[in-house]
Structures are given as C-alpha cells and as structure tokens.
Amino acid sequence: MNSSEVAKILGVSTSTVQRWVKQLNLPMERNERGHYTFTEDDLPILENIRDQIQNGALLQDIAPVKTSTIRKGTVKAVEMSPDFEKLMMMFSDLERKIDNKADSVASYQLIQHRKEIEELQNQVAELAAALEEFGHRVPKPKELATDQPVPLDNSLMLPEKRKKKKKAFGGFFGF
C-alpha cells in the first residue's frame, strides 16, 4: 500500500502519515522512487498513533513503536545480457585509454617544464659568469689613484643660465 491508501483507511491526510513516519522514525520501506510502502502489519501501529493523538497526546510524547520483526527487502538478481557485458568491456577499455592519454599528456608537460627550467638555470649561470668577469675588469675603488683629479666629461656638465640684466626704464612699465 502507498501513503494515500493508508491515509484513507486511517481518515487522515497523506502528509500526516508521512510526518508520523519521519518524526517517530518508523521503519517503513520505500519503493524505487523513494515513496513509502506499507503492509497490513503497519496499519495497527499507525492506528495506535492516530488514537493516541485523538486522545490528546502530542506527537513528541508518543514513544517510538518498537517492532519485533525485522523488515528486510529482497533484491532481484538481474542477469546481464551479452550485449551489455560487451558494452561494459568497451566502456572500461575507453576509460583505460583516456587514463593513459591523460598520463602521457602530463608526462609531456612535465618534460617541457624540466627543459624550460634547465634553460633558465643555464642563463642564470651565464649571467653569473658574465657578472664575475665584469667585476674583474672594473678597477676597484682602492686601486684608483687618489692624487690625480678625476677627469670630468664636459658633455655631462649643464650650461649655466645667464642672468638677464634688467633695464631701469623697463622696470617701471613691466617690460
């Protein structure tokens, strides 16, 4: 029986039956769609709950019903057809190929990154050698002669600005 059939028998709504099952944690079975299924053995339990509520008991005060029987569902054995087995084999083969391809792509990227890192390390080594060589060519400040003046490049000197002489008569008129 489903919830609506049980609700008609008890004289309550389907949502009331579902609320009782949820709040009292009643061990009801569900079908493949997740709907509650009830048996004839469940009716006395639900009638007892209905009677207690009609007599003024709160749903929270109703003790969960203990059932002595353990409800078990049965699983139907499904035979797989040869076509389905073949399809599953093809599917697993495709999964394996995809995994291998992903691994090879990752390996290739890793090799490329290693090459780039090696090239960068070589460039750093070349720059360090060039910097060291440049350091040997330039005289150190201690090696410079202190008694000789340091020659200045005239092209680096900025030309001095000439001061403009103001004429006395132009000062009166703002020229």
How far separated are the first and last CA of the chain, in Å rounded? 113
Amino acid at 49: I
Residue 52 has pLDDT above 80, yes or no: yes
Give me the pLDDT at residue 161, please.
62
Residues 75-133 pLDDT 10s = 776 777 888 889 999 999 999 999 999 999 999 999 999 999 999 999 999 999 999 88
Greater confidence, 62 or 41? 41
Q: What is the pLDDT of residue 97?
A: 95
> Torsion angle, CA of 66/59/31/9, rounded to 10 degrees?
100
- Cα separation values, 146 from 98, 143, 153, Å: 75, 9, 18
So what's the pLDDT on residue 80? Answer: 75
In degrees, rounded to 5, the angle at the alpha carbon of residue 108 between the alpha carbons of residues 105 and 112 is 140
pLDDT band at 170 (very low <50, low <70, confident <90, very high): low
The answer to whether residue 158 scores a pLDDT higher than 60 is no
| DSSP-assigned states of every residue in 21-42 | HHHTT---EE-TTS-EE--TTH
Read off the pLDDT band of 43 (50, 70, 90): confident
Looking at the predicted structure, is the pLDDT value of residue 53 above 80?
Answer: yes
Answer whether 0.85 is exceeded by the pTM. no
pLDDT in tens, 131-155: 988 888 766 666 555 566 666 665 5
